[in-house]
């Protein structure tokens, strides 16, 4: 019997490739659909690869026709806050129009279960409160706005076409597959933890701390970090939730523990045994002071158990992956 196939957009990227690994381990066949704009063909290890662009409706229709997936996991997007501030059109076009194409193609193909990567960036600036799924969504950058718009597209397609969705609003994803098959590899890297690791091993002169005058305990931004393998596990739970006939649902994926940039730097020293060369710089436009999940919903309703999401484990796994050199080409 063939395994149930899942179309994974962005499956060649950081989070999508880890989701493919966990899908395959749970008996699904992940079919990656990715244009390799920020992903890697070498990261596609657990199922077929369709090199295609969300902007190409014909390529999407062909992928649905050929593979007949039972569901979609939609990771493909541009996702850097700093870049979104200077190139908002790039974010609105790729993320929103690309997602609209995907959702229309899925509905046309009768593939109505979809798991979507949204973000806590849709909550924006909220005075340090813990964020639940019912918190108001008031993004402060084009990336967050584009993701909120996609959530609205999904809502309308649920009502009109019977689409069924699990929307995951992730907090900050970190770490790597502890078995080293896949990991985080962005060129250039912008995320805090891999940037710190590049500074430690001399691939860049130093980490620049973006802003030290935020209204937080030490003046640097607070984020809630979650391990990419825990996140991937949550996606399979979300998929199974839909396939079991449950209602469409939104889940935050975070741990509820917030860490400042300075705290992450000191954990990195402890986890790697090396000092992180760093200096203080100005704020990065578009950054909220604090984003921390205040929700237990994924734990109580999905039975999610994020066992790897301590900062120590995330930094250790990222460091182990980093020292393999990542992907090449």
Ligand X SMILES: NC(=O)c1ccc[n+]([C@@H]2O[C@H](COP(=O)([O-])OP(=O)(O)OC[C@H]3O[C@@H](n4cnc5c(N)ncnc54)[C@H](O)[C@@H]3O)[C@@H](O)[C@H]2O)c1
As annotated, the active-site residues are 143
Q: Quick check: 16 binds ligand X (CB under 6 A)?
A: yes
Q: Quick check: 15 binds ligand X (CB under 6 A)?
A: yes
d(CA 106, CA 141): 28
d(CA 95, CA 118): 11
Binding to ligand UPG in span 224-263, by CB under 6 A: 261
d(CA 113, CA 98): 18
φ, ψ for residue 151, nearest 5 deg: -55, -35
Q: Residue 193 Cβ, how far from ligand X at the closest point, in Å? A: 10
Binding to ligand UPG in span 153-182, by CB under 6 A: 171-172
Residue 74, classed as helix, strand or coil, is strand
Q: Residue 288 Cβ, how far from ligand UPG at the closest point, in Å? A: 8
| Residue from 210, 249, 267, 316 binding ligand UPG (CB under 6 A) | 210
Q: Residue 310 Cβ, how far from ligand UPG at the closest point, in Å? A: 17
Peptide linkage before 327 cis (omega within 30 of 0) = no
Q: Quick check: 190 binds ligand UPG (CB under 6 A)?
A: yes
d(CA 200, CA 315): 12
Residue closer to ligand X, measured from CB, 274 or 297: 297
Q: Quick check: 287 binds ligand UPG (CB under 6 A)?
A: yes
Please count the residues of the chain: 329
**Of 74, 120, 127, 148, residue with least CA distance to 255:** 120
| Residue from 94, 255, 295, 309 binding ligand X (CB under 6 A) | 94
- Residue ranges binding ligand UPG (CB under 6 A): 79-81, 119-121, 171-172, 190-192, 195, 207-210, 221, 223, 261, 284, 287, 291
């Amino acid at each position: 019997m063939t395994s149930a196939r899942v179309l994974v957009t962005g499956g060649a990227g950081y989070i999508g490739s880890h989701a493919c690994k966990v899908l395959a381990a749970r008996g699904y066949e992940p079919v990656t659909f990715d244009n390799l704009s920020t992903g890697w063909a070498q990261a596609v290890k657990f199922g077929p690869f369709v090199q295609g662009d969300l902007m190409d409706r014909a390529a999407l229709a062909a992928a649905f026709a050929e593979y007949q997936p039972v569901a979609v996991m939609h990771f493909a997007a541009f996702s850097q806050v700093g870049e979104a501030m200077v190139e908002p059109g790039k974010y609105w076009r790729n993320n929103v129009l690309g997602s609209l194409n995907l959702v229309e193609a899925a509905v046309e193909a009768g593939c109505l279960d979809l798991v979507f990567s949204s973000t806590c960036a849709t909550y924006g600036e909220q005075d340090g409160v813990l964020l639940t799924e019912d918190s108001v969504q008031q993004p402060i950058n084009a990336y967050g706005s584009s993701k909120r718009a996609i959530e609205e597209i999904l809502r309308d397609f649920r009502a009109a076409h019977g689409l069924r969705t699990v929307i995951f609003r992730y907090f900050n994803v970190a770490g790597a597959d502890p078995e080293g098959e896949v990991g985080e590899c962005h060129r250039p890297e912008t995320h805090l933890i891999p940037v710190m690791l590049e500074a430690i091993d001399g691939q860049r002169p130093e980490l620049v701390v973006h802003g030290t005058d935020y209204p937080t305990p030490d003046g640097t931004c607070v984020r809630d970090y979650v391990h990419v393998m825990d996140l991937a596990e949550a996606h399979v739970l979300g998929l199974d939730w839909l396939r079991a006939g449950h209602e469409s649902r939104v889940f935050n994926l975070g741990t509820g523990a917030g860490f400042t940039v300075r705290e992450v730097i000191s954990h990195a020293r402890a986890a790697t045994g090396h000092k992180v060369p760093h200096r203080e710089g100005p704020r990065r436009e578009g950054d909220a002071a604090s984003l921390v999940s205040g929700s237990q919903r994924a734990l109580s309703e999905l039975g999610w158990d994020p066992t790897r999401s301590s900062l120590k484990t995330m930094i250790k796994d990222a460091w182990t992956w980093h020292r393999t050199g990542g992907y090449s080409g």
